[in-house]
Structure 1
Amino acid sequence: LPFGGVQMLMIGDLQQLAPVIKKDEWNVLKQYYDTAFFFSCKALQKTTYISIELDHVYRQSDSKFIDLLNRVRGNQLDQESINLLNTRYKPNFKTDEAGYISLTTHNAKAQNINEVKLEKLKGTPYTFMAEITGNYSEYNYPTNAELVLKAGAQVMFVKNDPSPDKLYYNGKIGKIVSIEEDKVEVQCPGEDEAIVVYPLEWQNIKYTLDEDTREISEIIEGIFTQIPLKLAWSITIHKSQGLTFDKAIIDVEAAFAFGQVYVALSRCKSLEGLVLVSPVSSNGIISDNTIDKFTRKVEENQPSQEQLQDSEKLYREELLVDLFNFYNLEQALYYIIKLLKDHSSGLQKHHLSDFRDILKKINEDIAGISEKFLVELRALLINDNGTEEDAALQQRLSKASRYFAGKIDEVILKPVREISIDTDNRKVKKRINEALVRLLFEAKYKHSCLKACFNGFVLKEYLSIKAKAAIEDVTLKATAMKSGFTGTEIINKDLYDLLKAWRDAKAEKLDWSVYMVLQLKSIHEIADTLPSSIKELQSVRGLGKKKLQFFGEELLEMVREYVNPES
């Protein structure tokens, strides 16, 4: 299957700048692909994908300016449009005017403008050196590693404010009013107070697949820490993609690539905020026949109303079938049981039986029932003309949701939250912790989705709750992360904690590994059985003759003091 059967959603604007591809790279790739654009992807060409054109404009509100931009975008400029655009040609415009940013075609030109402007400013230059750790490519630096700033410099924020205040965003323009060794104050137009800016960090993240859990995990390969600013009297059109400006000076005289003119002009909110360094002609707008051809195909193949209705029906059915499918829960539990079996020698035996009991109840009360219900549900959905209007179906969904949510709470959430697994093997402990978190997350997520249907299935409400449940910061902490067991598992929890603390201190004093002094399963058994003699201690697993000889009396003394604190 193309893309491994995964549904793909691709969003972008083909009329903006084309992919950047080096000559030597293209010499290899052109043997396999017709173009460097996404639609030449072999896997994509094997699919019957749908293309939808989004035509609502948010950045601009003036209909005349929007029409002008659309004509530039489609390379359909007539003389009237060219005349309107060139009313913004200001050959004697003073670039020192506050709030304007210059957009140029080449990086060297932008850099030169910024350096000249900075040099003209009076005052002391401050140099901020980035702190770079690990692997972080210079090509991906978000701003200069050696950032030279002065009070009065026009700057642009290059990162969103991570604080709750959200005082700035990537692309916001302002002027430096104060500089100290570790902070910069920036005043932005229309705001009363200056923004205090401190260094922030960017992470170079590598994504890997965990072979055990089959989950994607993040590895931070490098960190770039710097003041999130860059000089912004001028930036390249390429760097301006995605940004919005109230005022911009556009220099596209040396435009060399498809999409450059359109991207530059469309960064501005209004025609009035735009200043042209040189007049624009229809010959200066570069088109790409490959893009034009694909765009026409998109326009001619918009999905029909019937296709939309069929897709909506299929989507509702997929959501509902998925809602009552508990495969992920079962798999998460199977994985925990496998871990417990593989490492049973260092764990309490009852843990394996506890989770086997949970699995048995899931199979009987959840998975088994869901298989029968899914047969019934699919039959009900055959004649579905709109789930929300089908009273019989809604009643059945409500009843089923309440049943399965109750069972998840009873069979999984409540008992698993009471289980705490401890082991001296840190690697094993970490894997078990992660597996428990995964199980609890899957159960909590499914419970939230089911709860959303207690009063019936309403698509918009369900999707909202489902999305929130999926991205919710998982505050569940597998109780295995704690240092001991919960009260439901240990009869004498205080003694368990005392013995564990003694064991850890003794190991440190002797410079031994903790398990060489006393294993956790031994501590657990002593805390449960309260042995009162060496003979009774001998029956505790993990306590051989040498350990009894070294530590027997100390252990018995702690048990006696716990049992008879007054004696």
Structure 2
Amino acid sequence: MFIRNHPEGLYFNGRIGKLVDKVDEFLKVEFNDGSNSIIVEREEWKNTTFKVDEKTKEILQEDIGSFLQYPVRLAWAVTVHKSQGLTFDKLQLDLENSFAAGQLYVALSRCRSLEGLKLLSKIRPDNIIVDKRILDYHHSINEEYNFEEDLKVAKEKYQKHLLKASFNFHKYLDYIKSWQSFVVEKQDDYAMEILTFIKGIKTVFQNTVKTGEKFQWQLESLFEENSKAIIKDRVDKAIRYFSDEINAKVLLPIESHIEEYRVKKGTRKYLNQTRTFGDECWHLMEKIYNISFQGEKVFTGIKKYKPDNSSAIKKKYEKGDTYKQTLELFEQGKTIEEIACLRFLSKGTIESHMLKHLKNGAVDINKLMPNARYQKIRKFALKNPNKSVSELVHDIDISIDYIEARWVKATLQLEKESD
């Protein structure tokens, strides 16, 4: 009979076999169930103790001895005590002289089924020995404790724990970290402006995490008041706040971001990562909407749902959508910096959008820079029509940006075409 489990499952504690051969230090064992014979070698047993390190308070393991032994013993018979932890398909029991509490239970529970169990002696009432200390303990529990009341208190405590945990958003910062790492490792042409976008999303979630922590502390105070109506009202308002924040400052910007980058080469894998994060945020929205307290749903408002992408896939994507959004914000009086912040895009991206709108006459250059500055650059550009953007920037007697030079050249080209 094997007395331990093999790491690869060749044998297990309690398996019965037949020793048929021994070659050098190896035993050959066959089984009656028709499975293949196996080769058995000595196994190491260790005598291990544990102690606490006084300085670090860590639990340390120390091996104080070991021995090698074949993991088998003769299986003609085994005492009840030695059978603990073993399991048998067939078993003959002689329990007539059982003498210790629990001995009968241990013996009967060694067999897998009643069909494999055979009793060699009659079991008498005096063989069923119960430890008096166990009985006394159970009697004292029944007398001292009201289990129904304890269960009620435990349920309420657990429900409060779940409610607080619903406003723990820390793991989404880990998702963002993975998102950032993907972009840094890929290092494509758009890495810097993409990282600027992700940084904006991260800032939103950092604020969300802090607000969530504050609300968890508020819940602790509300629990002490023990007013279910007040708790539900505050949680309902919190759900509205967090869902609106995530939708307006995370999900909608991500949707616009995906639209902008779908037409750019080499962004497919990145967009898959972005969609994965977006899906996690939609799952968070659904989780927030479904918050319940004491078996009742809390949210009473109108849910926001993830857009159906199937129709978006069928509909041809219009490349100009992202430029239109920038133009609309600009016409509302927003500055380039404000638009970049609202759309989680880099300032350079918004400036390039403006270049497009200058070329088609949708934006007046005097709204992008002071007229005096524009006139000076314009005058220099007209005197030097063959100079490139780079030459204009380096040769003019004032400090200007490349984008300003491009804006002026685009305006001059539009005037020329109009003439």
**Smaller-chain TM-score range?**
0.3 to 0.5
Relative contact order, CA 8 A, sep 6+: which one is greater?
1
TM-score by structure 1 length? 0.31
Task: Answer with 1 or 2: which has the greater Rg.
Answer: 2
Normalised by the size of structure 2, how large is the TM-score? Answer: 0.40
Structure (1 or 2) with the greater helix fraction = 2
